[in-house]
A and B are shown apart, each in its own frame.
Chain A
Amino acid sequence: MLEVRDLHVRFSQAHILQGVSLSVGMRPLAILGRNGMGKTTLCQAIMGLVATSEGAITLGGERLNGLPPYRIARRGIALVPQGRRTFPSLSVDEHLRLVAVRGARWTVERVYQTFPRLAERRGNGGTELSGGEQQMLAIARALLMNPKLVIMDEPSEGLAPVIVDHLIEVLRALPADGMGVLLVEQNLRVATEVAEEVALMVTGRIAATMPAARLAEDQGLQRRYLGVAAGGH
């Protein structure tokens, strides 16, 4: 579905993405890597939020790079950005109505059923929510666009463990809806429980791709690519 081929992104002197290639089909893919490896830049490049200098991004064979973000969104990609980026001036309900499409698989009613907490806070402003609620709102906003592929940039960041469990549950149910998932994470458990396949990112490249189960079991790999066992991030 989503194909990224030899993608490069440069910010003046800094060469952030140095030839990323990956493909996401119906099976969820997680990208793991330490801070500063280019994971967020990759998400933004796919969404059209940063300019790419070389390479191609295609969705179902149609080229995406060079299109403005709203056209990429309309082609079927939704982003749950790092830091959530909900709109402080909009209430929960307004967030949902802003993007909702009538008669689609995900409707405002279904969002409220899936996230009862959002239904309780439908009149509250975007800044009056807890971190977990804001994350649910950012995810709901993306799902309501009924995308072919949803990109999530560190959705578990800063969430309490019990909320992370709910998040994993929601994400695991998405493929059954026919939605592709590209998950960027630092949290190894979230990545390996949601995705069947993981890609490891090191200094702007995909260093290795493997089944999620293999990474979950191999502490040597975790240490090498994520520095998990060494206690760092």
Chain B
Amino acid sequence: MDLAATIVLNGLTLAALYFIVASGFSLIFGLMRVVNMAHGAMYLLAGYVGYSVFEPLYDSDVWYAWYAGLAAGVAFAAVFGAAVQLALLGWMQGQELRQALVTIGLSIIVADQLLASYGGTPRQFFAPDAIFGSTQVPWVGGYPTFRLVQIGIALAVGVGLWLLLNRTKLGMMIRAGVDDRQMLGACGVNVPLVGVAVFALGAALAGLGGIIGATAQPLAMGADGRFLLISLVVVIVGGMGSIIGTALGAVLIGLAEQIGQAMFPTYSVILTFVIMVAVLALRPQGILGRA
């Protein structure tokens, strides 16, 4: 019973991280129809940039070191995402294969540059005292506080995105643009500018995931590929462009990974792909995706 509860909680905390990262991926795909293969690179980039702000502050023992690292990483990812859209992808709107190839190229360049400047040593953030340590959870016992915070942040991201999409003018533009991009332009809306904003937001979410992820477990080369793959699987399972679908996909994949690792560690990697194949076979648009 205790073990089961721990596994479920582990699955949910992992799902929280997956949701944060994949929601940015899903947002960008939803409006822009860009499969952003550099999404994982943005995760990694934010992690390292955030770390280089965090480390000197942490060494000099200031309380806001982690928060400063978080802000720096997220802001850098947002600016980087906006720049990618403005300088590269905006010129090839609607050419999906070209955009996919350009973002793959970009992610290779980013990963190599990060390796050159930071080396291969894993880095890890230390969460501030307020959210460090452990908390008593019923049936589970002591559980890392930060992982619980992770779930809280994911919920806040989900609610925030929902409010943005449903309660703001930018949200109206994004939804209308998903429906009929051309007609949105004919209504006087500067669609390319909305695209830059969406790209910045999506990249910022990847960046947020990068900092959160690098606090929960060490950040190392290869995390970019892993989180790109996870984002793809999560949005394929949940449904492209749907926030609730992304949340559902993240929970499914997070739980499946943890349950798989506990029960049949050797084959656990296969489980997520079995789920993906099953969804693709039965409901190709994803569980909550629109056909």
A174 CB-CB contact with B under 8 Å: no
B220 CB-CB contact with A under 8 Å: no
Q: Which residue of chain B has the shortest Cβ distance to A69 in the bound complex?
A: B185
* Chain A residues closer than 8 Å to B172, beta-carbon distance: 90, 94, 97-98
Give the shortest distance, in Å, between B133 (CB) and chain A (any CB). Answer: 44
Give CA–CA (A141, B182) in the complex, Å.
Answer: 15
Give the shortest distance, in Å, between A214 (CB) and chain B (any CB). Answer: 33
Give CA–CA (A141, B184) in the complex, Å.
Answer: 11
Which 3 residue pairs are nearest across A and B when measured between Cβ atoms?
A73-B188, A69-B185, A89-B175
Q: Which of A98, A126, A145 has the most chain B CB atoms inside 10 A of its CB?
A: A98
* Chain A residues closer than 8 Å to B176, beta-carbon distance: 87, 89-90, 98
A11 CB-CB contact with B under 8 Å: no
**Are the C-beta atoms of B190 and A85 separated by less than 8 Å?**
no
Q: Which A residues are within 8 Å of any B CB, using their own CB?
A: 47-49, 68-70, 72-74, 78-79, 81, 85, 87-90, 94, 97-99, 126, 141, 145
Q: Which B residues are within 8 Å of any A CB, using their own CB?
A: 169, 172-173, 175-176, 178-180, 182-192
Q: Which of B180, B184, B186 has the most chain A CB atoms inside 10 A of its CB?
A: B186
> How many A-B contacts at CB < 8 Å in the complex?
60
Contacts A87-B175, A90-B176 given; does A98 touch B186 at CB 8 Å: no
**Are the C-beta atoms of B175 and A145 separated by less than 8 Å?**
no
Give the shortest distance, in Å, between B202 (CB) and chain A (any CB). Answer: 18
* Chain B residues closer than 8 Å to A81, beta-carbon distance: 183, 186
Q: Can you add 18 more A-B contacts, CB < 8 Å, to A48-B185, A89-B176, A97-B169?
A: A47-B186, A69-B182, A70-B191, A72-B186, A73-B186, A73-B187, A81-B186, A85-B183, A87-B179, A89-B175, A90-B175, A90-B179, A98-B169, A98-B176, A98-B187, A98-B189, A141-B187, A145-B187
**Are the C-beta atoms of B175 and A70 separated by less than 8 Å?**
no
Give CA–CA (A70, B186) in the complex, Å.
Answer: 5
* Chain A residues closer than 8 Å to B184, beta-carbon distance: 87
Contacts A94-B172, A98-B172 given; does A74 touch B179 at CB 8 Å: no
* Chain A residues closer than 8 Å to B173, beta-carbon distance: 98
Give the shortest distance, in Å, between B33 (CB) and chain A (any CB). Answer: 15
Q: Which residue of chain A has the shortest Cβ distance to B173 in the bound complex?
A: A98
Partner of B179, one of A49, A70, A79, A89: A89
Q: Which residue of chain A has the shortest Cβ distance to B166 in the bound complex?
A: A94
